[in-house]
Structure 1
Amino acid sequence: MGVNASGDSQVRPPNERLTSWFQRSGWSKGELARQVNRRARRLGAHHISTDTSRVRRWLDGEQPREPIPRILAELFSERFGCVVGVEDLGLRSARQPAAVSGIDLPWAGPQTVALINEFSRSDLMLGRRGFLGTALTMSAGPALIEPMQRWLVPTPTDGEPLPGARLLTVAGGGRGEARRLSGISEPELAVLEETTAQFRRWDAQSGGGLRRKAVVGQLHEVTDLLAESHPEPVRRRLFRVTAELAELAGWMSYDIGLQPTAQKYFVLALHAAKEADDRPLGAYILSKMCRQMIHLGRGDDALELVHLAQYGSRDTATSRTQAMLYAMEARAYATQGQPAKCHRAVRMAEETFGQIGADERDPDWIGFFSEAELNAENGHSYRDLSYVAGRSPTYVTRARPHLERAVALFGEERERNPGGAHHRSYALNLIGMATVHLLEREPEAFAAQASEAAELAGRLRSERVNDRLRKTYAAAQRDFGDVPEVRDGAAVFGAQPPANSAVRAV
């Protein structure tokens, strides 16, 4: 039996998985070959020169060598708007080191600090088109879920510094002097926490693109502090700040379209939250990972993540946090097209939100989950169900009052406090309301809401908002391209009619 071009010692059967994705893509063999070559050159792999005959051999069962499997996974993921893994294409991939794959990492304090320090430094130095833009890959399915489940496994915490770390002496201060805690004082810790909260507010006001590097820089500085020896309460407090900053760096990366970078930060944030022994914060981070999977069309993964968050924080999370998790569970069920379970999760979110007491103390990171956000999530759940069910009017009718309420509340907030309002959330919900008008065949109302969102988007640094507007205008152009307001808005965003009618707003 002969040896094929990739070095395999036997002839393999045709690759039915790759053939299926290829046929649905609409690409020709020549076009796929050209895209592989272009992507390879961006990676610095100038030795790769693919042609139509090579693509044919892949479809016939030949296993290409790295980095081609990863390139193909990226190309098909971008084509279909969801995570398409190497294994989904019926291909083998060389196992990547943890620093590159970003998921299956050791659950230990010193390693967590070292990985965050290294990753944030790479982000600051190389940025969007360097290491982070080419070497990272998304993880999904068991490769994502199984490592995250270890969040719940107890691990010993010794609080020891990293090898070679600088040991600082605790100095006792006199009257009026801040007491030093192994190199950092109580006021300094409070400033770190307030700075993190301020970054969070700026993100909600302006989008993730404006201050992302500032957050990454602050994260890098905090990991330097963690390389020192601290009493356990200080150590946990520093890890909590680290987890919040890493989550925010991930969220901002997600908002500007850097999906693999966002996932890596989320995973590192979860590791830091575990070191801080903060289960509710860990659940919050998992909810952001859930939202990313919904955005990428991975409803099964999203549901696994939110259930893991609910299980891990069931006895420790506040009512507001639990309500948020129920709302995310509803979003995941909507993505899967499970209306009964979605409706139950919506009801649980509303009931749990109603149990929030006046004396309940919430951490700053969950403060965003207001009545407006509750209605926004539940409205989008029913809107998504409508699309999954072929534009079912039943679910549009349920979506409309929730999204109308969300838009009204965000608008009132903006009028009361223009400088501190959640402008991005307002824009996303204007887009969500516009899609409801589109589903109910109200093109003029659609155009009015979309135009208001577009005006607000011009003052944001959020690729997520711009992407939603492009896709929503594209869907409207297919149905109402003869309406001047729709046609003009689509032209501004360069929107082209899609191959199908699915529109998501996350």
Structure 2
Amino acid sequence: MAQAVNAAGAEGGLRLRYDRSSVSHWLSGTRPRYPVPLLIVEVLSHHLGRTCSLDDAGFDERGRAHSPCQVTGQPPLHALAELAGRDADPARREGVRRLPYTVPDPASLSLPRLSGPAGTAGTAGTGGAAGAAVGLPRTSHDASVRFFTGELGRYGGGHTRNTLALYLCDAVLPTLGRRGPGPAPPRPQALLRAARLAFVLARMHADELDHGVSQRYLHLAARLADEADDPVTWSIVIRAHSAQLLALGHRRHALSHAEAATAALPRGASPPARAYVHAQLAVGYAALRDKRNALAALRIAETATEAAEKITLTAGPGSSQTVPDPFDAYTSAALAFQTAETLQRLDDTRSALAALARSAAARSADDRRGLALTHARRATLLLRAGQREEALARWPGLVALSAPLRSAAVRRVVHALGDKLRPGARSAATDF
């Protein structure tokens, strides 16, 4: 029990060292500090195969009083307002960011509803130059999605996540009538903007390894995309769920989410969306050693990426982005990174290294986070392939590239690489 709670805490970035005596104390009535009660009920729920509440575990109202807002028992706009409000408040955000990650039940993952004929795009469509079957005009809110996505790539998830949470609370959600019944329900386009901003905020938190709150933003983004009747956005959000599950080691759950994201894509989905979703599907199959399906998914992603880049080239001025988001574009650099992960999981290290070289060469200089992760992954594979000197030669540049970033994910991989390369490398990495 203690080991399971420690492992659940590690998924949320907590370093716990509970042992057998700790469990004895809990049984005798000692209440661990927040958020450990939430971790305990998550562990019990997982092993029992059913939901275990704080009351079931023996924690009274005092334990519940410290539990942050729940996102499943109320309308998504209200839940998003409460979650983002706590996230934007310096006095309350620490509790939100220590929320434990909960492994979802694949059986509870249902495809989004569709108002139109089966296999067609929803009423809201998908925006941007790449969205052919569209209808969502570019507005200031669309520009905000691109802006915050760009900030994530340039400076890391810790740079503007507070600003984005506050922007959601003060500039986006009030326009949707969340403070009371309005004269009319929110338009699909407005719901979709909120969903996409919640998606970007989830990515920022994941980059800071706050997986519990990231998961809750993704959950709300998916619900809002469903209400907006946009299966493309829903698929992109569930694809992000899959990537998060895989990063935390839940391979089968990750594949089930990637398959659900692919199944929900309508025939009219834009090439960037198809490429983004199928690239993750390839990684999911590779994680379970399914080479045939992994390579087949990669081929679909490659074809879609080629089509997406052709659309970007012919869309005219202002269509290109230095740090694209999956709603509008999907680049060959991003696909090459996913290709490398797929091939690495299939034990093809040489081809994975070649894919990482292509990814690094194709990335924009503004995508510092992507460049840092690409170079770190490349150096790690070089080291694994026995090319220690070549990996070591890349170390100074990697540290310099990572220094301006506020990204716990980058810090973790750079520190881990430094430990493997040389005794003095890790101390050099702690300066950023």
TM-score (norm 2): 0.76
Q: Pick the aligned partner of 2:396 from 451, 469, 474.
A: 451
Asked if structure 2 preserves the Cα contact closer than 8 Å seen for 1:239 and 1:272, the reply is yes
**Letter of the structure 2 residue corresponding to residue 86 of structure 1:** L
1:377 aligns with 2:342: no
- Judged with a 3 Å threshold, the aligned counterparts in structure 2 of structure 1 residues 440 and 196 are, in CA distance, closer, same or farther, namely same
Equivalence for 2:150: 201
- Judged with a 3 Å threshold, the aligned counterparts in structure 2 of structure 1 residues 260 and 63 are, in CA distance, closer, same or farther, namely farther
- Judged with a 3 Å threshold, the aligned counterparts in structure 2 of structure 1 residues 203 and 140 are, in CA distance, closer, same or farther, namely same
Equivalence for 1:42: none
5 Å matches for 1:108-123?
Answer: 111-123=75-87
Percent of paired sites with the same residue? 19
Q: Deviations over 1:354-403 (max 9, x none)?
A: 344745879964345201111111012212333xxxxxxxx102212111
Equivalence for 1:239: 191
Pairs aligned (count): 381
Q: Pick the aligned partner of 1:489 from 405, 420, 425.
A: 425
1:94 aligns with 2:53: yes
Q: Deviations over 1:452-496 (max 9, x none)?
A: 22211101111111111122333x24xxxxxxxx332133346xx
- Judged with a 3 Å threshold, the aligned counterparts in structure 2 of structure 1 residues 102 and 472 are, in CA distance, closer, same or farther, namely farther
Which secondary structure state, in structure 1, belongs to the residue aligned with residue 261 of structure 2? helix
Equivalence for 1:7: none
CA–CA distance in 1 between the matches of 2:7 and 2:143? 50
Asked if structure 1 preserves the Cα contact closer than 8 Å seen for 2:68 and 2:96, the reply is no
1:273 aligns with 2:225: yes
Which secondary structure state, in structure 2, belongs to the residue aligned with residue 130 of structure 1? helix
Which secondary structure state, in structure 1, belongs to the residue aligned with residue 110 of structure 2? helix
Which secondary structure state, in structure 1, belongs to the residue aligned with residue 198 of structure 2? helix
Which secondary structure state, in structure 2, belongs to the residue aligned with residue 209 of structure 1? helix
Stretches of structure 2 lacking an aligned partner (at least 5 in a row) = 9-15, 56-63, 117-135
5 Å matches for 1:349-368?
Answer: 349-356=301-308, 358-359=310-311, 365-368=326-329
Structure 1 residue 308, shift from structure 2 partner: 1.1
Stretches of structure 1 lacking an aligned partner (at least 5 in a row) = 1-17, 26-33, 37-50, 76-83, 156-185, 387-394, 415-420, 478-485, 495-506
Asked if structure 1 preserves the Cα contact closer than 8 Å seen for 2:71 and 2:79, the reply is no
CA–CA distance in 1 between the matches of 2:228 and 2:334? 27
Asked if structure 2 preserves the Cα contact closer than 8 Å seen for 1:103 and 1:139, the reply is no
Structure 1 residue 438, shift from structure 2 partner: 1.0
CA–CA distance in 1 between the matches of 2:111 and 2:70? 15
CA–CA distance in 2 between the matches of 1:454 and 1:20? 34
Asked if structure 2 preserves the Cα contact closer than 8 Å seen for 1:197 and 1:365, the reply is no
Equivalence for 1:212: 161
Structure 1 residue 235, shift from structure 2 partner: 1.4
Equivalence for 1:330: 282
What's the RMSD between the two structures over aligned residues? 3.8
Asked if structure 2 preserves the Cα contact closer than 8 Å seen for 1:273 and 1:281, the reply is yes
Which secondary structure state, in structure 1, belongs to the residue aligned with residue 158 of structure 2? coil
CA–CA distance in 1 between the matches of 2:142 and 2:68? 30
- Judged with a 3 Å threshold, the aligned counterparts in structure 2 of structure 1 residues 350 and 246 are, in CA distance, closer, same or farther, namely same
Asked if structure 1 preserves the Cα contact closer than 8 Å seen for 2:5 and 2:43, the reply is no
5 Å matches for 1:377-396?
Answer: 377-386=338-347, 395-396=348-349
Q: Deviations over 1:186-232 (max 9, x none)?
A: 99x82222223212212111111111111111111311110174767
Equivalence for 2:175: 225
TM-score (norm 1): 0.66
**Letter of the structure 2 residue corresponding to residue 402 of structure 1:** A
Equivalence for 1:499: none
Equivalence for 2:249: 297
- Judged with a 3 Å threshold, the aligned counterparts in structure 2 of structure 1 residues 266 and 230 are, in CA distance, closer, same or farther, namely farther
Asked if structure 1 preserves the Cα contact closer than 8 Å seen for 2:272 and 2:329, the reply is no
1:403 aligns with 2:353: no
Q: Pick the aligned partner of 2:102 from 139, 161, 164.
A: 139
Asked if structure 2 preserves the Cα contact closer than 8 Å seen for 1:73 and 1:86, the reply is no
- Judged with a 3 Å threshold, the aligned counterparts in structure 2 of structure 1 residues 104 and 316 are, in CA distance, closer, same or farther, namely farther
CA–CA distance in 1 between the matches of 2:85 and 2:369? 28
Asked if structure 1 preserves the Cα contact closer than 8 Å seen for 2:383 and 2:391, the reply is yes
**Letter of the structure 1 residue corresponding to residue 85 of structure 2:** R
CA–CA distance in 2 between the matches of 1:127 and 1:424? 29
Asked if structure 2 preserves the Cα contact closer than 8 Å seen for 1:243 and 1:272, the reply is yes
